[in-house]
């Protein structure tokens, strides 16, 4: 596969690779994670890199068994959610997917093939993380790092479900919500918190994590949706 247009940041592919390793996958043929062998087609994303990380990788399940296909299917779905290009024989073996039955290829380009012919990757990278970052006034770099995590967890802790606590102080939580510094959690603070929660609910619902009401109330179903999205993306 020749290099085409890059439509997702390399950092999105790195996020995917770190998640894959945590889940027990082997990240192969990618600069920054493993050796890249001279076996790929000329112009392959595998050979390209940016700031020490590759733009293409091969994903293998470390313990080949009856669950291999199910694991790769689930991982490919997450890669597609992140806007990445995927080649994997999920639905057939048409085209290059025929050479990717026991592993998946993932890259930052426009091309995708799940076994029924050519398709197009969504691109854009991890848009969910970016939307959540904008809610809590973090740098919208699509990386769920320490600052993003601290801000989102402050909003979570301030909810009634979590006991209305402030692990980093009320003043910090108010600043995260766009309010002036202050040490009192007043009605204005609660209104700003609920407005932020509504935006979080909408963002998680848009990406298929949450199917409850956009109520502004941090509920148990919302918490489960948030934790699932968080644990896929955390880079701490």
Same domain, 49 and 115: yes
Same domain, 179 and 98: no
Same domain, 153 and 202: yes
Asked whether residue 1 is domain-assigned, the answer is no
Same domain, 133 and 115: no
Asked whether residue 75 is domain-assigned, the answer is yes
pLDDT in tens, 131-188: 999 999 999 999 999 999 999 999 999 999 999 999 999 999 999 999 998 999 999 9
State residue 65's pLDDT score: 77
Residue at which a domain ends, from 76, 99, 120: 120
pLDDT in tens, 37-80: 999 988 899 999 999 999 999 999 988 777 999 999 999 999 99
pLDDT in tens, 79-135: 999 999 999 999 999 999 999 999 999 999 999 999 999 999 999 999 999 999 999
DSSP state letters, 203-236: HHHHTTS--S---S---HHHHHHHHHHHHHH---
- pLDDT greater than 70 at residue 2: no
Give the residue numbers spanning the domain of 25: 10-120
Same domain, 84 and 132: no
Q: Which residues of 157-180 are buried (b: 16+ CB within 10 A; e: fewer)?
A: bbbeeeeeeeeeebeebbbbbebe
Same domain, 16 and 101: yes
Residue at which a domain ends, from 120, 137, 153: 120
State residue 91's pLDDT score: 96
Element (DSSP H or E) covering residue 157: helix 146-157
State residue 1's pLDDT score: 45
d(CA 127, CA 74): 19
Asked whether residue 73 is domain-assigned, the answer is yes
- pLDDT greater than 90 at residue 215: yes
What is the domain-level CATH number for residue 73?
3.30.1380
Same domain, 100 and 149: no
Residue at which a domain ends, from 120, 140, 156: 120
Other beta carbons within 10 Å of 195: 14
Same domain, 68 and 141: no
Number of domains in the chain: 2
Asked whether residue 115 is domain-assigned, the answer is yes
Cα 199 from chain centroid (whole Å): 18
Same domain, 195 and 115: no
Same domain, 81 and 176: no
Asked whether residue 90 is domain-assigned, the answer is yes
Same domain, 131 and 71: no
Same domain, 131 and 159: yes
């Amino acid at each position: 596969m020749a290099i085409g247009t890059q439509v997702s940041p390399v950092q999105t592919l790195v996020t995917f690779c770190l998640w894959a390793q945590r889940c027990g996958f082997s990240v192969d043929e990618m600069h920054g994670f493993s050796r890249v062998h001279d076996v790929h087609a000329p112009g392959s994303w595998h050979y390209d890199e940016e700031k020490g990380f590759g733009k293409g990788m091969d994903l293998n399940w470390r313990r080949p068994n009856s669950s291999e296909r199910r694991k790769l299917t689930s991982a490919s779905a997450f890669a597609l959610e992140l806007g990445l290009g995927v080649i994997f024989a999920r639905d057939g073996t048409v085209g290059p997917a025929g050479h990717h039955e026991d592993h998946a290829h993932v890259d930052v380009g426009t091309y995708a093939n799940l076994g029924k012919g050519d398709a197009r990757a969504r691109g854009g990278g991890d848009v969910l993380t970016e939307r959540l970052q904008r809610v809590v006034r973090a740098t919208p770099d699509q990386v769920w790092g320490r600052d993003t995590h601290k801000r989102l967890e402050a909003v979570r802790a301030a909810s009634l479900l979590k006991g209305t606590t402030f692990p980093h102080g009320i003043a910090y939580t108010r600043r995260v919500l766009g309010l002036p510094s202050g040490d009192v959690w007043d009605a204005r603070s609660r209104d700003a918190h609920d407005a932020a929660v509504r935006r979080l609910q909408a963002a998680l619902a848009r990406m298929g994590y949450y199917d409850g009401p956009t109520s502004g109330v941090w509920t148990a179903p919302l918490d489960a949706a948030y934790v699932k999205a968080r644990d896929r993306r955390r880079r701490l």
